[in-house]
Amino acid sequence: MADESMRSIADLRDGAALCFAIAEAVAVEDDDVATWQNTIKFLEGSLAIAKQHHAEFVKTAAMSGSAGDNLIFTLPKTTCIVPKGKLDIDFGDYNVTITGKDFVVTTPYTNVDALLKLPRHSTVSKTKVASYEFVLRLETPVSYRKSTLKYIAFDVSATSAVIPNENILLHDAELENDASVTQAKLHVAVQMQLQRLMSHIRVIAEPMTGDRRYVSTHGESFVKCYRKTTSGHLFFLREGYSSSRRHRVVMPVYY
């Protein structure tokens, strides 16, 4: 397709004209079905590339929006609960940014008013912690697609050690040479860095009742609860409580 033709179609904002032009370019002689299959495949591939570039530029803009916001560390392909997916989480001097295929969620640390670290037990051994769910409660909800998020939540393995350039990317030279980080369990290193970056709040960890760690009669750190037919976990904390349902919607901590 000539550059002039493409420009004229773009100027008209005419999606139909663009679609027919692509169909003409990928046409299969005497086979309209194959022609439109090729057209759909072409447009879907183009849309995926456009979304990827859009997310990258939005992320760059978000990170540059705060002066001096250099990247400190990244958790690549992390199991995110809110927003959901295997996503990259970037921690800068001032902002946390989560990048998906078609979205970017970013917020300054000053917008985080509670930081939780909740144990998730193994399905095989109820007394063994398999992972920790980190929850960042946001004072002001942030934009997410056509909605907003009140929380950012993600899982970190309870057993994995820090493996630089694999399960954590250290962008800060001091961290790369810090044995307390590089020789620690991944969840310990993450907690330590989050506490440093969000020094205005304290990490709420270990379900407690009074001065004692809470353990159910089944050896778990939570009790099962239900809302109609949806099951969930209820954690008792010194500062209040937190619950998460099967669809991993995190509920507030009350003080």
Instruction: Note the pLDDT tens digit of each residue in 106-140.
Output: 999 999 988 888 888 777 766 688 899 898 989 99
With both helix axes pointing from N to C terminus, report the angle between 3-12 and 15-25 in degrees, rounded to the nearest 10: 150
CB-based contact 187:119 (threshold 8 Å): no
Mean pLDDT of 217-236: 63
The highest-confidence range among 3-7, 144-148, 221-225, 231-235, by mean pLDDT, is 144-148
* pLDDT higher than threshold 60 for residue 175: yes
What's the predicted TM-score (pTM) here?
0.65
Q: How many domains does the chain have?
A: 2
Give the range of the structural domain holding residue 35, as residue numbers without chain letter.
3-59
| pLDDT at residue number 248 | 46
Based on the domain organization, do 116 and 30 belong to the same domain? no
Based on the domain organization, do 32 and 107 belong to the same domain? no
Say which CATH number the domain at 146 has.
Answer: 2.30.29.150
Residue 228 lies in a domain: no
Boundary of a domain, candidates 164, 189, 205? 205
* pLDDT higher than threshold 60 for residue 78: yes
Strand 112-121 to 203-205 pairing: parallel
Based on the domain organization, do 8 and 30 belong to the same domain? yes
